[in-house]
Amino acid sequence: MTSVLTRPAPPAVATPPRFRVGALLPWALVTVVYVAALLNADTPAKDIAIYGVYLVLGIVVPGTLVWRAVRGSRGNLPEDLGLGAGTGLFVQLVGWAIAAAIGLQQVLWAWPLLVIAAFIAVPSLRRHWRIADPQPLPLRWAWMICAALLVIVAWGAVAWSGAPMPPFAGAYYQDVMYHLSLVHEMTRSMPFEVPQLAGDTLRYHYLSDADMAAASMITGIPEHVVLLRLWNVPIGAIGVLVTAVLAREVIGKWWAGPLAGALAFIGIPLSLGAPLMAYGTSALVFASPSQTYAMPLLGLLALIAVDVLRGRPLGPLWYVTPPLALAVAGSKSSALPPLVAGIGLAGLVLWIRHRKFPLRIALFLVAVLIPMIIGTKLFAGGGAGTLGIQPFAVIRWMDPYSMSLGQDDGISPNGFLPPGLAGADAKGWVFAIGIIGWWLLMESPRLLGILGIGNRRMRADPVAWMFGGMIVAGTAATWLLWHPSASMLYFFLCMVPFGSVLTIWLLAENVRRWWVPLAGLLAGAAWALIAPAVARPEDRTSWSQWSWALGLPVLRTLGFVVAGAILVLVMRKSYRSLVVAVVAAVAGASLAYGTSSYTKSWWNAEFGPAPAAAAPARQLTRAEMRAALWLDENAGNDDVVATNVHCQPIGRAKPCDARAFWVAGLGGRRTLVESWGYSDATVAANGVNGIKYPLQPAPGPALFALNERVFTTADGADVRQLREAYGVKWLFADGRAGTVSPQLATQAKVAYTAGSVTIYELE
């Protein structure tokens, strides 16, 4: 298939001013809605303006110049800027890594300016400021992609509604505070330490946190404002744009780009009226910045792989590929393995087909595989080490199974198969297989494109094999591996954009009349919105009731599908049209589910009843948050804090759910021993003594005991040991977390008091 990049440029025609203004309207609409949503979410207007300038000058402009230099322009500004934004994230990572390695974070602001200056000063680079061969996109492309971006704004606004700006009386989801502590850690110099366990080496895919840290250091915007408000929507939008470019590149039709980008990031699994949604929804996860951040970088790497598979010269991209692959590995450890599998499958197919070893593809595979291996050493911590093989383990996190056959499965693998399956009779296995089949059907917007390998033209293109291998590998890893927190699901979520592109490719290859896919899209969207809902079973331990609850929506939908198929065959007498109608209906339903879900949630968050507050025991007080923020403003960046806060709820001592994280998160400083729930040693101890990993005891019993004694007995020798042996500068004592000795004030200077919190300074 000929790439759209090889099409001849249209004749140069002066563009009327009215058209230029009209072309800006969709982008202006997205910008206005986004800014209004941020202001409505209590984001300071000054921070919004500064971050906007940073995105343009610090990310988009240098990234666009670099991408044009290494691969060339797409011939139009929107796609160039989309790829440039993704490249800018990578360029920013390089600058951050250099600064963190040599301790020059204070001049990180100069890094993007140096890149821009190079493209001004070097004569051979100046040509990349303009598009030499314009190939403009239709205005409809912009409106379609901006419609998707508006839904991304709604996704962000929904997340913001559940994470108010501090201080407030309430609670954050623990992963948000964990990542906030990592953002603060990324402002320090290498080597990095676990923020909640000062001195422990940090091994985690933390590059998304590094990106936020770089933004904060360059702009001066507080880290919590970047994480909670300013960062997630732009990264999601960049993912949509990069995926849209990838889709147009491989499919060759202008409309395929925005449709695939939308399906990849706002489309969600089918529902059909079932009482629950299939496990694994969106490639964007607010509580997992690493998942969101990996998508544009992985999309860029896949775009380079397309060039390799289609025999185009890479030029400078050969030098970009290994560090970019390492950046992907450091962004999400589950992102690269399926891509490696997809490239390997495509190379194998070409080898068999042409009976000639594809040396170029093999070299590219090595250029990706070696960084993946290095990444497992640098970034993958104890959580990755707990991955094991247990077929069908992911079913243990699905309500129909976990509430019935699997209710006694426990917290460890407990065998080669989940115990509920291992002990199931024939009827139980039929039920479990039914759940798996239902999941595959609901995820069909991401999986249906695999059938395109049966299409002659797609089968002849190694890129289709790569995408097919990626989605199969991601799905297989999800269903073959076990993790105590079901993190094997991220192997699938990382591949959702590429499965979506493959689905739209299948649609595009069979389209002959425009009205057939349009009718399918509308029919699928309509059914998604009007499908009658089925209630959850009254007896949720009954697998037979679950079978009916999941099966009835499928049967109802099947009736409409059969009727629609008959109508298409009568009108068109073409099985190709039937394929187009079905694929379009699946895509339309997925897009409608996602759009409706995000916009309804946004509306309810703004105008609906207030959500139920967390239980009082789990809430933080405004005073506690203010105290932590005071610490962030007044402590030195490398100061170490000791605290008696370890658990959630805060006063729960036994068993302690050690995932508080907010002292290191909002306080922004390393803590000697805060919460150890995500440490390597703790996660690796999952199941020891029948206890899940967040409830395991502290990994350093002697140090933990010393830490606790300082607050409960205020012995002078213990306080001096903290200061002299462990470098502790501050004590963060919260009376809600446990007993605080009044004698502590005689051993340390009282620096700040708010509510139940007293902060002491050790001199």
Both tokens of residue 547?
Answer: 């079978």
C-alpha closest to that of 379 among 318, 301, 325: 325
Same domain, 372 and 502: yes
Q: What is residue 357's three-state secondary structure?
A: coil
- pLDDT(16) > 60: no
Same domain, 180 and 103: yes
Note the pLDDT of residue 8: 39
Instruction: Answer yes or no: is 4 within a domain.
Output: no
Sheet holding 749-754, edge to edge: 670-671, 640-643, 728-734, 757-761, 749-754
Note the pLDDT of residue 35: 98
Q: Which residue is listed with tokens 């990049």? A: 5
Instruction: Answer yes or no: is 187 within a domain.
Output: yes
When mean pLDDT is compared across 131-140, 208-217, 509-518, 619-628, the lowest value belongs to 509-518
User: Domain limits at 424?
Assistant: 389-442
C-alpha closest to that of 679 among 694, 689, 701, 690: 694
Note the pLDDT of residue 17: 40
Same domain, 463 and 554: no
Both tokens of residue 630?
Answer: 């005071």
Rounded Cα gap, residues 729 and 762, in angstroms: 5
Are 303 and 86 contacting, i.e. CB atoms less than 8 angstroms apart?
Answer: no
Same domain, 579 and 624: no
- pLDDT(107) > 60: yes
When mean pLDDT is compared across 284-298, 539-553, 593-607, 745-759, the lowest value belongs to 593-607
Instruction: Answer yes or no: is 2 within a domain.
Output: no
The model's pLDDT over 580-592, given as tens digits with 9 standing for 90+, comes to 889 999 999 999 9
Are 503 and 468 contacting, i.e. CB atoms less than 8 angstroms apart?
Answer: no
Residue 474: partners with Cβ closer than 8 Å, 6 or more residues away: 338, 491, 492, 493, 494, 495, 499
Note the pLDDT of residue 427: 93
Count of domains forming the chain = 4
- pLDDT(7) > 60: no
Are 232 and 292 contacting, i.e. CB atoms less than 8 angstroms apart?
Answer: yes
Q: What is the mean pLDDT of the chain?
A: 93
pLDDT confidence band for 12 (50 / 70 / 90): very low
- Which conformational region is residue 272 in: left (phi greater than 0), alpha (psi within -120 to 50 degrees), or beta? left
Note the pLDDT of residue 572: 66
Instruction: Answer yes or no: is 293 within a domain.
Output: yes
The model's pLDDT over 47-78, given as tens digits with 9 standing for 90+, comes to 999 999 999 999 999 999 999 999 999 999 99
Same domain, 262 and 145: yes
The model's pLDDT over 526-562, given as tens digits with 9 standing for 90+, comes to 999 999 999 999 999 998 899 999 999 999 999 988 8
Note the pLDDT of residue 512: 85
Same domain, 128 and 261: yes
Note the pLDDT of residue 385: 66
Same domain, 722 and 708: yes
Note the pLDDT of residue 618: 81
Instruction: Answer yes or no: is 12 within a domain.
Output: no
Instruction: Answer yes or no: is 8 within a domain.
Output: no
C-alpha closest to that of 681 among 333, 386, 331, 329: 386
Q: Write down which residue in 570, 605, 640 finishes a domain.
A: 605
Are 333 and 445 contacting, i.e. CB atoms less than 8 angstroms apart?
Answer: no
Q: What is residue 661's three-state secondary structure?
A: coil
- pLDDT(515) > 80: yes
Q: What is residue 75's three-state secondary structure?
A: coil
Q: Write down which residue in 457, 492, 510 finishes a domain.
A: 510
Note the pLDDT of residue 653: 73
Q: What are phi and psi of 548, to 5 degrees?
A: -70, -40
Both tokens of residue 478?
Answer: 């999800």
Rounded Cα gap, residues 662 and 644, in angstroms: 12
Q: Which residue is listed with tokens 């563009």? A: 15
Same domain, 488 and 577: no
Same domain, 586 and 532: yes
Rounded Cα gap, residues 97 and 102, in angstroms: 9
Rounded Cα gap, residues 335 and 474, in angstroms: 9
Note the pLDDT of residue 384: 59
Rounded Cα gap, residues 380 and 325, in angstroms: 15
Q: What is residue 638's three-state secondary structure?
A: coil
Instruction: Answer yes or no: is 669 within a domain.
Output: yes
Note the pLDDT of residue 609: 76
Same domain, 128 and 251: yes
Residue 671: partners with Cβ closer than 8 Å, 6 or more residues away: 195, 196, 197, 198, 640, 641, 642, 643, 663, 664, 732
Both tokens of residue 758?
Answer: 């007293």
- pLDDT(111) > 60: yes
Q: What is residue 604's three-state secondary structure?
A: helix
Note the pLDDT of residue 6: 40
Mean pLDDT of the 683-704 span: 92
C-alpha closest to that of 264 among 222, 290, 236: 236
Q: Write down which residue in 456, 485, 510 finishes a domain.
A: 510
Residue 179: partners with Cβ closer than 8 Å, 6 or more residues away: 208, 209, 227, 287, 289, 665
Quote the pTM value.
0.94
pLDDT confidence band for 383 (50 / 70 / 90): low
Report the chain's C-alpha Rg in angstroms: 27
Same domain, 378 and 319: yes
Same domain, 536 and 664: no
Instruction: Answer yes or no: is 11 within a domain.
Output: no
Q: Report the run of H or E that residue 759 belongs to, with start and end.
A: strand 757-761
Rounded to an integer, what is the distance from CA 568 to the centroid of its chain?
39
Note the pLDDT of residue 247: 98
Are 175 and 54 contacting, i.e. CB atoms less than 8 angstroms apart?
Answer: no
Q: What pairing do the DSSP bridges indicate for beta strands 640-643 and 728-734? A: parallel
